[in-house]
Chain A
Amino acid sequence: MLCEILQVITRESLLVAQREDLRRVMEMLNLSEQHARTLLIYHRWDVEKVFAVFVEKGKDKLFGEAGVTAKSCKIKHAPAAMTCEVCMEDIPKHKATTMDCGHCFCNNCWTEHFVVKINEGKSRRITCMAYKCTAICDEAIVRNLVSARDPDLAERFERFLLESYIEDNQRVKWCPSVPHCGNAIRVEDEKLCEVECTCGVQFCFSCSSEAHSPCSCLMWELWVKKCRDESETVNWITVNTKSCPKCYKSVEKNGGCNLVSCICGQSFCWLCGGATGREHTWTSIAGHSCGRFKEDQEKQAERAKRDLNRYMHYHNRYKAHTDSFKLESKLKETIESQILMLEGKESELKDFSWLTNGLNRLFRSRRVLSYSYPFAFYMFGEDLFGDEMTPVEREMKQNLFEDQQQQLEENVEKLSKALEEKYDGLEDDNLKQSRMQLINLSVITDRLCKSMYECIENDLLGSLKLATHNIAAYKSKGVERASELLVRATKGNNSISCLQTSSSISATGGTVEVGRSSSSSLNFENGCPSRKRSKREAFGNVLFDLNLPAEVIDKS
């Protein structure tokens, strides 16, 4: 399953999004808002999970686990005064509060208890004060009592409840933008995917760092660390240069023997850095014995050098493509202005979306290409999968992958070059030809990306025996963009409506989300799936012109 439905939740729509889930549970199970919230917080805002537990284990179990106590019908006729078991004072009845679980304490003690719990960061699950009572306190009572003592704290309580929707929710993540755009993204179903926030930031939903497929999350984490790690540079310097004992300039070793000379004329020993004369053989320097010429040291240096060279190989290519990506983003303006010019011209061709599509294809495939290098670094290196493959296997797989990578690289460069053409200066015939060429290149590049992902998923990562690495699926259309959560005042009109009779839809909670369909996946409901499918298709059509794969453009 792909994550087909993404929504941006802004600070403003957070309440609406949360209300929506609350409302579904409230209506389904005929509960008050606070009880619905308690259930949802306990089940990490997974509405389906709440319903599933309800169906499988029954109401009592569902409520008991989460700490929901249905109010007992009997109103206890407590005496006019009581002794509060916490402060041990005699309290008139009107200064005490009884929770749904039936436990009664004085308002002062309740307030103190709430204050301590909120300050401990436990706003989401404040339990009753009675020993072994797991009932969750009525949030309205918490709100009232705390705001009488400390309005600021009451506000914090409110915010904690609200943000629980994001922080405790497996389907929702804050956008990692810095400075923060204030948005969170909600996905349906699939948690391993790449998403784009309305602020433009693209990120991996599972690790919240930049979109990095075809690297797995772990590979990406290691790569970022490796790139940041200065030890690599330090390593490079110790492996490749030494400072001259006379002028302290860095001197590179170039040749097999251990006598090096600085441009200042000073000769010195590569192994110990000591100044020497110029007389030497392959293994010794005349008049100099540093005693550090040991074979294992040589070997160690060789190994470090080999590792470093390997890293540099992959890093250079990774960096080259990342740099190209940055340079090419300037093409966007050029292409846009060319399209404007072309549209103003008398021509047979009216639609120039093939240019925009070609450019988007370039951006996407360039990204894939750059991340394919850190992927290869780990896939065929010893850090992660040293024990997974025999050297022969490794070599075979590496060849297979590098063939694909190379083909993709060639086509991406061709595509990049094609997009530099001055289309607005072309006559119709030439323009048509260029159009054909660009569309072809786009299609091929898309296919190559797709088959590279398939190769990674099936032949490379898929065949690992010891480790599990997963990557976000390839999307021809690029990283999935989140859509704004729509808030409409109309009632009905969404998939939720097939959950209950129309009369039960509250007029106030009328929030509708485009493509919102997970509610219909309840297995004890009938008649929803077909509707769900049509919804998704309709949703897909909205994006038709901009982000479809070249194949589809080709057909149309």
Chain B
Amino acid sequence: MVDCARIQKELVDCNKDKGISGISVTLDGDEFTHLTGTITGPVGTPYEGGIFQIDIQMPGEYPFEPPKMRFLTKVWHPNISSQNGAICLDILKDQWSPALTLKTALLSLQALLSAPEPGDPQDAVVAQQYLRDYPTFAGTARYWTETFAKRSSMGIEEKVQKLVEMGFPDVLVRKTLEIVGGDENMALEKLCTG
């Protein structure tokens, strides 16, 4: 049976300073077995400005067993599956300790976004790219952040449309946007300089 008292305390504690930490957790329905976490992409990384949602399943033995976490938001990262959001992180597996919390786990995920560990990859394709061609990796990661992790900003389709209307071919526009990580102004600059 899930320890509701502890989870309740964790929720209060976590959401108290979400403005500073950029981390929050909400209940999914009335059950304490299913939660959703949110983290902001760390500044100075291809994930900057993105808001990432994480699906959290609480096992019956929580906190004596680790929570099961998975990215709901699509992320381009060596330790996160680009297919299903599965995460490769030691503290969610054998390094879990009952003294850790949802907040510390989410903080670790945020840290993982800042410092990928391509040596222990979850997504081999991304990890290869990260190691061999960092600029392309960073571009794709930024593009994915732009496309999937930014709710408020202009959608990628709108940007494409705008640039196409300026007279650039659709295929080239999409490609350029991807290279520059979705930044409309940078894309325009690149398109103009050829």
A368 to B96, CA, bound (A): 54
Is the Cβ of A129 less than 8 Å from the Cβ of B6? no
Interface SS of chain A: helix, strand, loop or mixed? Answer: loop
Is the Cβ of A86 less than 8 Å from the Cβ of B99? yes
Q: Does B9 contact A (CB under 8 A)?
A: yes
Which chain A residue lies CB-closest to B10? A88
Give residues of chain B (80-122) contacting chain A, Cβ–Cβ below 8 Å. Answer: 91, 95, 97-100, 104
A88 to B12, CA, bound (A): 12
A131 to B99, CA, bound (A): 6
Known: A87-B3, A116-B61, A116-B64. A109 touches B98 (CB 8 A): yes
CB distance from A113 to the nearest CB of B (A): 5
What residues of chain B lie closer than 8 Å to A89, measured between beta carbons? 5
A408 to B165, CA, bound (A): 95
Which chain A residue lies CB-closest to B99? A85
A405 to B121, CA, bound (A): 56
Q: Does A382 contact B (CB under 8 A)?
A: no
How does the 8 Å CB contact mask read for B1-15 relative to A, with 1 for contact and 0 for none?
001011001100000
Is the Cβ of B100 less than 8 Å from the Cβ of A131? yes
Count A-side interface residues using an 8 Å CB cutoff. Answer: 15
A115 to B10, CA, bound (A): 23
Is the Cβ of B64 less than 8 Å from the Cβ of A112? yes
Is the Cβ of B65 less than 8 Å from the Cβ of A130? no
A86 to B99, CA, bound (A): 5
A89 to B10, CA, bound (A): 12
Q: Does A132 contact B (CB under 8 A)?
A: yes
Q: Does B63 contact A (CB under 8 A)?
A: yes
CB distance from A131 to the nearest CB of B (A): 4
Is the Cβ of B9 less than 8 Å from the Cβ of A86? no
A547 to B38, CA, bound (A): 76
How does the 8 Å CB contact mask read for A74-88 relative to B, with 1 for contact and 0 for none?
000000000001111
CB distance from A328 to the nearest CB of B (A): 56
Of A86, A132, A133, the contact of B63 (CB 8 Å cutoff): A86
Interface SS of chain B: helix, strand, loop or mixed? Answer: loop
What residues of chain A lie closer than 8 Å to B5, measured between beta carbons? 87-89
Which chain B residue lies CB-closest to A86? B98
Give residues of chain A (62-116) contacting chain B, Cβ–Cβ below 8 Å. Answer: 85-89, 105, 109, 112-113, 116
What residues of chain B lie closer than 8 Å to A85, measured between beta carbons? 99
Give residues of chain A (485-540) contacting chain B, Cβ–Cβ below 8 Å. Answer: none
Give residues of chain A (127-148) contacting chain B, Cβ–Cβ below 8 Å. Answer: 129-133
CB distance from A163 to the nearest CB of B (A): 23
Is the Cβ of A88 less than 8 Å from the Cβ of B9? yes
What residues of chain B lie closer than 8 Å to A116, measured between beta carbons? 61, 64-65
Is the Cβ of B9 less than 8 Å from the Cβ of A130? no
CB distance from A149 to the nearest CB of B (A): 13
What residues of chain B lie closer than 8 Å to A86, measured between beta carbons? 6, 63, 98-99
Is the Cβ of B99 less than 8 Å from the Cβ of A129? yes
Give residues of chain A (184-213) contacting chain B, Cβ–Cβ below 8 Å. Answer: none
CB distance from A115 to the nearest CB of B (A): 8
What residues of chain A lie closer than 8 Å to B3, measured between beta carbons? 87
A132 to B99, CA, bound (A): 10
A520 to B177, CA, bound (A): 74
Which chain B residue lies CB-closest to A89? B5
CB distance from A376 to the nearest CB of B (A): 46
CB distance from B156 to the nearest CB of A (A): 40
Is the Cβ of B6 less than 8 Å from the Cβ of A132? no
Give residues of chain B (142-174) contacting chain A, Cβ–Cβ below 8 Å. Answer: none
Which chain B residue lies CB-closest to A88? B9
Which chain B residue lies CB-closest to A114? B64
Known: A88-B6, A88-B9. A130 touches B99 (CB 8 A): yes
Question: Other than the known A132-B95, A132-B97, what 12 A-B pairs have Cβ atoms closer than 8 Å?
Answer: A86-B6, A86-B99, A87-B5, A88-B6, A109-B98, A112-B64, A113-B98, A116-B64, A129-B98, A131-B100, A131-B104, A133-B97
Closest CB pairs A-B (n = 4)? A131-B97, A116-B64, A86-B98, A129-B98
Question: What are 23 residue pairs bridging A and B, where the CB atoms are less than 8 Å apart in the complex?
Answer: A85-B99, A86-B6, A86-B98, A87-B3, A87-B6, A88-B5, A88-B6, A88-B9, A88-B10, A89-B5, A105-B99, A109-B98, A112-B61, A113-B98, A116-B61, A116-B64, A116-B65, A129-B99, A130-B97, A130-B99, A131-B99, A131-B100, A133-B97
